[in-house]
A and B are shown apart, each in its own frame.
Chain A
């Protein structure tokens, strides 16, 4: 089939598709998401064709697990922890502050494409709660001010590049 997913990028997925058995479906999807940042419909169709799994099953798996994204993401993915420890220590206030600052809803991308905002449950750094993760960096002991400051720093760093 034709796929607008870029032949170059698709090649990276090739090795994962070898010797397929159904236990490999989730690793394949994880790899595809690593390549594209999200799982575009075309790619799901492509994986379904290559593996012989029904498209319905592939989509079913994608929608079941929180890790998989069916929408594109911004340059910086914000994961704000809403686990129990973070909740008790005020993560709801941090959420309001961040969402006001960026004018986004949960799971959405900002107008400038710089950030996507997501809630998650527990990043495993509960003793530093409230916690958020942006990219592969974890920020602990957040306050409303420190959270906004972090966003501004990232924004500044991104602008410098242009």
Chain B
């Protein structure tokens, strides 16, 4: 009997360790696997070919009985048919092994066809990558073969391969899932790249917030060394460098500065890293998902990869679905599907039967795609045309209760904190944008604010050196483009239709619905409710009364 337990960070947060404990107590041996991408079903246990989901401690007890052949109710924990369908309908390239193999075992990876030797010359490898049409999956979407070739053609014998695992987009976690679930795929991708460009050393720059990913990479590297796939004899080795927390380090030149022990500030390009990168030597940087695609392409041929997707975007892309969505998690789909397919297909639609309003793609550098454009194709060009970007694949879904002005404010707050401070437009301009947005959200918007926002946004885009500054105003520009009415509501009509901006809320008890249980008064942290009246002077608009009321009798 083969028993595996899903132990990605998400599974652990959902309480899978309790399942492990119960199994261990019962003397049942189970192996570990990574995140299968269905985070909403965690904790997940596999027994032979059956998948059991949402396994709490009661579920674990039932599974113990099942394993021992005693009467049990394990069936109630079996994965619902519909979810199984979704799981099976995915195209796994980057995620092919995630949740299926033990990430801490190189043998399982090899069994699945990993580390198969190839007999291509470095030029042939680059050719295959070119044929595949693989583009960088980290955000910019630059053709991978081009970068590899540039690094190969650069003079000098000391070259570096760098893996950008500094997943900074808040709301995206596909890289974490790959590192935790299939670290060898990333190592193999880096080995192939090193061979193609002639690099002697590889460095993985991982976010320090991902301790489990670091641990699994360390194990994987040690195993690869033992098998002599890495090390002095091979002429190529890989080491890990833990990042120290800076969004801007997702930018290539800032990442290199950070590797060199400096503040992570971007510099002007050219020279490109392919000519002058880490330690001033030719370096090639790709992100985790890009590397994870490489072994598959080399094994199956570039044309098998380019057979999937659209004219300009080939292969598959992994998306992290989060926010107001029923089935949050990871999905890998061929390019060319629509945004709607992903949200209503794998994503299972919007939470609590609410109305879909928009989806943020590309994180703080991207933009929102409104519901009316839900048929937009997933392809670099089509997404760009909407004002959003493919980015690293974060899809944060928003419903009618999300205020778009507040979202723009949120992203600007983020970029202001993360701006490295080098360019005036980014450092000061974004701060001004934020102040205007804060003012609008607080109910003090004034005439001319909208024009000021768009004008300033354009200036910041033009006056910033790196992608962080150049893209920082995108959330403002896209919300202005698609949701100008919400701005007008805030500024002119002094209301927030999503009922999210506190300044516009006025809490009151609706006596038609109220059954006088007085729970709200008991819970109010500032004692603003007496005799079923809310004292607006005392009320801090925390919303606790509304959330505890079982009859929805609190109006705003």
A residues sitting closer than 8 Å to B (CB atoms) are 21-27, 29-30, 60-61, 64-68, 81-89, 93, 96, 100, 120-129, 131, 136, 138-140, 144
Contact A23 B263 (CB under 8 A): no
Partner of B324, one of A61, A66, A88, A93: A88
Residues 348 to 386 of chain B near chain A (Cβ within 8 Å): 360, 363-364
Partner of B39, one of A60, A89, A128: A128
Contact A126-B328, Cβ < 8 Å, known A23-B261, A84-B394: yes
When C-beta atoms are compared, the residue in chain A nearest to B244 turns out to be: A65
Contact B396 A85 (CB under 8 A): yes
Contact B171 A85 (CB under 8 A): yes
Is residue B288 within 8 Å, beta carbon to beta carbon, of the partner chain? no
A5 to chain B, nearest CB (A): 20
With a CB–CB cut-off of 8 A, which chain B residues contact A81? 170
Partner of B245, one of A67, A123, A138: A67
Contact B171 A140 (CB under 8 A): no
Contact A68 B261 (CB under 8 A): no
Contact A88 B398 (CB under 8 A): yes
Work out how many contacts link A and B, with CB atoms closer than 8 A: 139
Contact B324 A127 (CB under 8 A): no
With a CB–CB cut-off of 8 A, which chain A residues contact B544? 144
Contact B396 A88 (CB under 8 A): yes
Q: In the bound complex, what is the Cα–Cα distance between A114 and B77 (angstroms)?
A: 39
Contact A124-B9, Cβ < 8 Å, known A23-B260, A23-B261, A61-B262: yes
Q: In the bound complex, what is the Cα–Cα distance between A123 and B13 (angstroms)?
A: 11
With a CB–CB cut-off of 8 A, which chain B residues contact A22? 260-262
Contact B171 A139 (CB under 8 A): no
A150 to chain B, nearest CB (A): 12
Partner of B173, one of A61, A64, A125: A125
When C-beta atoms are compared, the residue in chain A nearest to B265 turns out to be: A64
Contact A121 B210 (CB under 8 A): no
Q: In the bound complex, what is the Cα–Cα distance between A21 and B262 (angstroms)?
A: 12
Contact A68 B244 (CB under 8 A): yes
Contact A124-B261, Cβ < 8 Å, known A65-B245, A96-B542, A139-B13: no
Kindly supply a per-residue 1/0 record for chain B positions 2-41, scoring 1 wherever the CB is within 8 Å of any chain A CB and 0 otherwise: 0000000110111000000000000000000000000110
Kindly supply a per-residue 1/0 record for chain B positions 135-155, scoring 1 wherever the CB is within 8 Å of any chain A CB and 0 otherwise: 000000000000000000000
Partner of A84, one of B10, B167, B323: B323
Is residue B410 within 8 Å, beta carbon to beta carbon, of the partner chain? yes
Q: In the bound complex, what is the Cα–Cα distance between A36 and B129 (angstroms)?
A: 47
Sorted from nearest, which 6 A-B pairs have the closest CB atoms? Answer: A83-B170, A127-B39, A127-B328, A65-B244, A122-B170, A84-B171
Q: In the bound complex, what is the Cα–Cα distance between A81 and B360 (angstroms)?
A: 18
CB pairs A–B below 8 angstroms (15 shown):
A23-B261, A26-B241, A27-B242, A64-B420, A67-B244, A84-B322, A84-B364, A84-B394, A122-B168, A124-B210, A125-B39, A126-B328, A128-B10, A131-B13, A140-B10
Contact A128-B14, Cβ < 8 Å, known A93-B543, A120-B209: yes
Q: In the bound complex, what is the Cα–Cα distance between A121 and B245 (angstroms)?
A: 10
Q: In the bound complex, what is the Cα–Cα distance between A40 and B12 (angstroms)?
A: 33
Contact A85-B170, Cβ < 8 Å, known A93-B542, A138-B13, A144-B547: yes
With a CB–CB cut-off of 8 A, which chain B residues contact A84? 169-171, 322-323, 360, 363-364, 394, 396, 410-411
Contact A87-B410, Cβ < 8 Å, known A121-B170, A128-B13: yes
With a CB–CB cut-off of 8 A, which chain A residues contact B211? 136
With a CB–CB cut-off of 8 A, which chain A residues contact B9? 123-125, 138
Q: In the bound complex, what is the Cα–Cα distance between A128 and B38 (angstroms)?
A: 11
Contact B247 A127 (CB under 8 A): no
Could you tell me how many residues of chain B have their Cβ less than 8 Å away from some Cβ of chain A? 59
With a CB–CB cut-off of 8 A, which chain B residues contact A89? 323-324
Is residue B414 within 8 Å, beta carbon to beta carbon, of the partner chain? yes
When C-beta atoms are compared, the residue in chain A nearest to B208 turns out to be: A67
Contact A124 B39 (CB under 8 A): no
Residues 247 to 264 of chain B near chain A (Cβ within 8 Å): 247, 258-264
Question: 15 more A-B contacts (CB under 8 A) besides A61-B263, A126-B172, A144-B547?
Answer: A22-B260, A22-B262, A64-B264, A65-B245, A84-B171, A88-B396, A88-B402, A89-B323, A121-B247, A123-B9, A124-B9, A126-B328, A128-B14, A129-B328, A140-B13
Is residue B176 within 8 Å, beta carbon to beta carbon, of the partner chain? yes
A148 to chain B, nearest CB (A): 11
Is residue B113 within 8 Å, beta carbon to beta carbon, of the partner chain? no
Contact A124 B410 (CB under 8 A): no
With a CB–CB cut-off of 8 A, which chain A residues contact B245? 65-67
With a CB–CB cut-off of 8 A, which chain A residues contact B260? 22-23
When C-beta atoms are compared, the residue in chain A nearest to B263 turns out to be: A64
Q: In the bound complex, what is the Cα–Cα distance between A27 and B167 (angstroms)?
A: 19
Is residue B196 within 8 Å, beta carbon to beta carbon, of the partner chain? no
Contact B12 A122 (CB under 8 A): no
Q: In the bound complex, what is the Cα–Cα distance between A87 and B409 (angstroms)?
A: 12
When C-beta atoms are compared, the residue in chain A nearest to B209 turns out to be: A123
Q: In the bound complex, what is the Cα–Cα distance between A149 and B343 (angstroms)?
A: 34
Kindly supply a per-residue 1/0 record for chain B positions 309-330, scoring 1 wherever the CB is within 8 Å of any chain A CB and 0 otherwise: 0000000000011111000110
Q: In the bound complex, what is the Cα–Cα distance between A32 and B321 (angstroms)?
A: 37
Residues 263 to 295 of chain B near chain A (Cβ within 8 Å): 263-264
Contact A138 B264 (CB under 8 A): no
Partner of B176, one of A21, A96, A124, A139: A124
When C-beta atoms are compared, the residue in chain B nearest to A29 turns out to be: B244
Q: In the bound complex, what is the Cα–Cα distance between A88 and B364 (angstroms)?
A: 14
With a CB–CB cut-off of 8 A, which chain A residues contact B170? 81-86, 121-122, 126
With a CB–CB cut-off of 8 A, which chain A residues contact B39? 125, 127-128
With a CB–CB cut-off of 8 A, which chain B residues contact A96? 542
With a CB–CB cut-off of 8 A, which chain A residues contact B414? 121
Most buried by A among B171, B210, B211, B246: B171
